[in-house]
Every structure is written in C-alpha cells, then in structure tokens.
Amino acid sequence: MKMPKLKKTVSYAIGGSLAAFALFLILAATKNNASRRCQGLETKIKDNADQFLVTKEDIEKWVTQYGNDPFEGKIIENISLEKVEKRVLESGTVKSCKAYFDRHGYLVLDIEAFKPVGRILSNSENGDRYIDKEGNLFPISKHFSPTVLLISGNYINRLRSLKSEKNSDLLNLINTISEDEFWSAQITQIDVNENKEVNMIPLMGKNVIEFGKPENINAKFDKLLVFYKQILPQKIWSDFSKVSVKYEGQIVCN
C-alpha cells in the first residue's frame, strides 16, 4: 500500500535532480561564456555557388565596420548578436542574416542574399536598383551584373518596393517574364509610365510592344505568342514600329 507513495517520492527526486542538472549546465555555460573569447568569423551564404552579388569579404567588412571593430578575441558574453545581424542587414543587399556562436567559439553568420529578377533603371542620382521576385528593392552589386529584365519609367522610379497589394499585378508581370524561358529571352526591357501602362522592348529590332496595364497577363501573352509564331515569320521586325496587345481580342500592328 506504501509503494505508490514511494514511486512518487522517487519520481520527485529524479525530477528535482534533472532540474538541478539543467540549472547547473545553464550556469556553467553562462560562466564559460563570461571567459570564452571569440575565435573568429565564419560566414555561410545560402546557395553561394549560384549568386555573385555578395561575397564573404563584403559580410566581414560590414560586420567589423570595415575592420574598425573586429570580433576575434572579444569576450563572447559582450557580443550582441542582434547588433551583428543589424550591421549586415543595414547594407540593404542581404535578405536575411542569422548570427550565433558555435561550440568552438566562432561567430557564425548564416546569410541569404537577394536574387534579382529585374534591374530598375534610375533617372536620379540614387542609381539603379535590383528587384527580387517578392518585390524587394536593393542596391546593385559592384561584383557582378546579372542579365535580368530591365525596368524603367516614372511609375516604377518612385516606388520603394513592389510588395503592396496595389502593385501585385506589376510584380506578377515581372515574374512572369523572368520565369518564362521564351519571354525572358525575347523581352529585354519594360517601361511603366505614370498611368501604370507598360511598353515592352524586344530583343530584336527597335520596335515597341504596347502591353497596356499589367492585367489579363496570360491572355495578352497568348496574343503576343500568336504574333511571334504566325505573323512575324511572314514579315520582319522592321515592317512594324509598334505591336499592341492591350485591346481585348485584338492584335494591332503598325
């Protein structure tokens, strides 16, 4: 009859021991961090073989304030990981940064760089910017200029991003072009005027494709495909100054 009470006592004792051991590990780790020093930086860039916009050297410069605030030799407890991440993200060229210490005392930075799908041509001294498929805008790279869709126009130049619902249609158009093997090869630039109407500049010739507002995108591309496959083979680009697919059910060639 006394066995249940004995089992409870043993359970409490084991539970208390485990809690005490966990507390000991936490205190030991805290004490250890108070004396441990950073052994250096280790930067890991996601899909680094497929991106050329950000280098490990860039990350190290941003983190150390261009060598003025090195971390190697610093006491780990005195290093703010939040501050480290902020320094990297403030560059504006990195999508995400996660900082932590590994068991050897190295400050590890897990980096994900932006992947551009278009380049916004600026009409101001601020310079060109890239855009990714989520609508984020970020600075161009000094290391590499990828071949992406060129984007210009008064409408696009006044935006800080395309992440709003209002501009989801325009972002959808940009992504449709960049993700499609045929259209990404045929269309080199889009120009978006103040009324959000789009003109496209094809790879061949100096002609203009009048696309209209970024709506009914699939239907308009279907019409444009008809032009490429059925009309253009019988003519040459120089026969046309403008091709319009902005009107419903029509392809207008001038």
pLDDT in tens, 33-46: 556 899 999 999 99
pLDDT of residue 6: 47
Number of separate domains in the chain: 2
* Helix 168-179, helix 217-226: angle, nearest 10: 40
For residue 16, is it within any domain? no
- Cα 113 to Cα 53: distance, rounded to the nearest angstrom: 8
Q: Same domain, yes or no, for 53 and 122?
A: no
Q: Is the pLDDT of residue 104 over 80?
A: yes
- Cα 60 to Cα 161: distance, rounded to the nearest angstrom: 27
* 64: CATH: 3.10.20.310
Domain with 45, as residue range(s), is 40-113
pLDDT of residue 1: 47
Burial of 83 (0-12, 13-18, 19+ CB in 10 A): exposed
pTM of structure: 0.79
For residue 78, is it within any domain? yes
pLDDT in tens, 24-80: 555 555 545 556 899 999 999 998 888 888 999 999 999 999 999 999 999 999 999
For residue 234, is it within any domain? yes
CB 118 within 8 A of CB 159: no
DSSP string for 38-60 = --EEEEEETTGGG--S--HHHHH
- Cα 12 to Cα 250: distance, rounded to the nearest angstrom: 81
pLDDT of residue 167: 95
Supply φ then ψ for residue 227, to 5 degrees.
Answer: -60, -45
How much is the CA Rg of the chain, to the nearest whole Å? 28
The single-letter DSSP state of residue 196 is -
